[in-house]
Amino acid sequence: MHRLLLALTLLLAPLAHSAEPFTVSTLSKAQAHAASDGKLVVVYLFHDQSPDCAFMDKDTWNHPEVRGWIAKNGVAARVDAQSGHGAMLKSRYQVDGTPSVLAFQGDDLVKRHTGLLDATSLVSWLDAARNGSSTEPMSAASAESTAPAVNLDLDKLTVRALSAGNPEDRAKALLETWTLTVGTPQQEMRREPLITALGPVVKESFGASERVTVVRNASWSRWKKHGILADLIDWIALNSLLEEEPATLRWLDERKPPDCHPAAQAALKHLHNPLLDMLIRRERWATLGACVEDAEELVGLYQADWQNTLDSGQLLTDRNIQAHRTRLSGLSAGLLAAGRDRDARRVARALLTHDERAGPAIVETALTAEQPRGWHRRMLDPRKQDEKDLSITLNKAIKLR
């Protein structure tokens, strides 16, 4: 009997360790459950249309390390930010976006975060919340007073910055706006417009480039210290702006295929143009394929970009069309290199649905990546002589495999 109980205990221990992290659905219920043993109360505010929330629901909160931490140290509530209770929490604790995580000791808010967190980052954040990041717990009122500004008019500030007299002053003004948004919901929103504005400025002035380098290094330091994904993505974006891709590649090489760190997957989703372009240009096919978590979602982003261009009345230039073909055909080749043939085929078909002349680009990229497949033949139109020649080349490549 003793041996049977011991065996059952050992069998059930892993299940208890990785139990569902959310046991209640309101702050008050979580506080009531935590009151007896002084556990940390964790409230997760989500929005069902947010890609970042979907990432955290699927990966972060399901990670065994996170589940184990909650089971041992906390009581967690999952609250829809659009519900009545969610709206009340957002108003009371000045939450301006999702995903957001609030940590309470008793009735006092001790820490909060808005933005995407992977499992490692969340556990570090929870440890800091449990240990106390300040000598006094932070009430709702003090949380409001210490929070960074979140209602900046980015368009107005960017226009004002670009009117400065010389490139270095323009870079300084743009980077001041960049720094003001760190740790706020606007950190993600400002990245693309400010990177676009900074590009020509950096090329004009060495002093501007130096200023960007300082901000880039600060983003890396914050990522290493706090593990917040938005800072990592800032670092990668600024590496691209400074044309310092080797630093990003070294970081990616530490997360070798077939496994890929969730942070790298999130970075590719948020920086799908510069990061994908870099991996294709450097022919890092297996790394590219491993870092794509959801191929259909990524294709959807590109199709939305394409449709937005059409809807805005802009003409599709040869350069735009070629860039679109290069990215999606490269994505397909990367998925093939990662052993994800079905996803690769879907990406190729999606490209052909709105760009029927993209067949040669798909095939040429697959050959460059040394990933030809029999179904590539059907991507070509034999009525065109150049495509017929390419088809012959493809048949030879397939026979050699």
Over range 78-107, report the average pLDDT: 87
Q: What is the pLDDT of residue 330?
A: 92
What pLDDT does 90 receive?
86
User: Which residue is listed with tokens 């808005």?
Assistant: 114
Please give the pLDDT value at position 178. Answer: 84
| CATH code at position 83 | 3.40.30.10
Q: Which residues contact 276 (CB under 8 A, 6 or more apart)?
A: 268, 288, 327, 330, 331
> Looking at residue 398, what is its pLDDT?
56
> Span 374-391, mean pLDDT?
65
Q: Which of 80-84, 145-149, 174-178, 195-199 has the lowest mean pLDDT?
A: 145-149
Pairing of strands 108-114, 74-80: unpaired
One domain, residues 323 and 372: yes
Q: Is 183 left (phi over 0), alpha (psi -120 to 50) or beta?
A: left
Tokens of 13: 């221990």
Q: How far apart are CA 3 and CA 193, in angstroms?
A: 65
Residue 9 domain flag:
no
User: What's at 394, amino acid-wise?
Assistant: L
Statement to judge: residues 217 and 317 lie in one domain: no
Single out the residue of 376, 373, 387, 388 nearest to residue 351, CA to CA: 376
Q: pLDDT at residue 87 above 90?
A: no
HSE of 15 in the Cβ direction (CA atoms, 13 Å)?
A: 5
Widest distance between CA atoms in the chain: 84
On whether both 239 and 254 belong to a single domain, the answer is no
Q: Does 92 map to a domain?
A: yes
Whole-angstrom Cα distance, residue 275 to residue 277?
5
Domain that holds residue 46: 15-146
Report helix, strand or coil for 145: helix
Domain count, the chain: 3
H or E segment and range at residue 175: helix 167-180
Taking only the tens place, the pLDDT of each residue in 38-72 is: 899 999 999 887 767 887 888 889 999 999 999 99
**Is residue 2 a part of any domain in this protein?**
no
Of the candidates 143, 119, 134, 67, which has an alpha carbon nearest to the alpha carbon of residue 227? 119
Report the pLDDT averaged over residues 256-284: 80
Residue 367 predicted with pLDDT over 80: yes
- Same-domain check for residues 44 and 106: yes
pLDDT for the residue numbered 344? 93
User: Which of 90, 120, 146 is the C-terminal boundary of a domain?
Assistant: 146
> Does the pLDDT of residue 149 top 70, yes or no?
no
For residue 8, being part of any structural domain is answered with: no
Whole-prediction pTM: 0.56
CA distances 229 to 208, 265, 266, Å, are 25, 11, 8
Percent of the chain beyond pLDDT 70? 81
146, 167, 192: which is the final residue of a domain? Answer: 146
pLDDT at 199: 86
Same domain? For 114 and 201 the reply is no
* Residue closest to 263 by CA, chosen among 55, 43, 44: 55
Listed residues 108, 125, 146: the one ending a domain? 146
How high is the pLDDT of residue 11?
40
350 with 399, same domain: the answer is yes
DSSP reduced 3-state for 243: coil
Give yes or no for residue 247 having a pLDDT over 50: yes
Q: Are residues 141 and 191 in the same domain?
A: no
Grade residue 259 by pLDDT with cuts at 50, 70 and 90.
low
Residue 175 counted as domain residue: yes
Domain check: are 257 and 372 in the same one? yes
Is 340 in a helix, a strand, or coil?
coil
pLDDT exceeds cutoff 90 at 201: no
**Mean pLDDT of the chain, nearest integer:** 78
| 140 shares a domain with 152 | no
CA distance 216 to 206: 15
Q: In what order do the strands lie in the sheet with 40-46?
A: 22-24, 74-80, 40-46, 100-105, 108-114
Give the least confident one: 84-88, 187-191, 329-333: 187-191
For residues 271 and 399, state if they share a domain.
yes
Q: What is the pLDDT of residues 161-187, one digit of tens each?
A: 777 778 888 888 888 878 877 877 777
**Based on the domain organization, do 271 and 236 belong to the same domain?**
no
Whether residue 386 is contained in a domain is answered as yes
Asked if the peptide bond before residue 99 counts as cis, ω within 30 degrees of 0, the response is yes
Same domain, 110 and 189: no
Q: What is the three-class DSSP state of 150? A: coil
5 inside domain: no
Q: For residue 98, tell me if it sits in a domain.
A: yes
Q: Could you read off the pLDDT of 290-349 as tens digits, one per residue?
A: 888 888 888 887 877 777 777 766 666 777 788 888 999 999 999 999 899 999 999 999
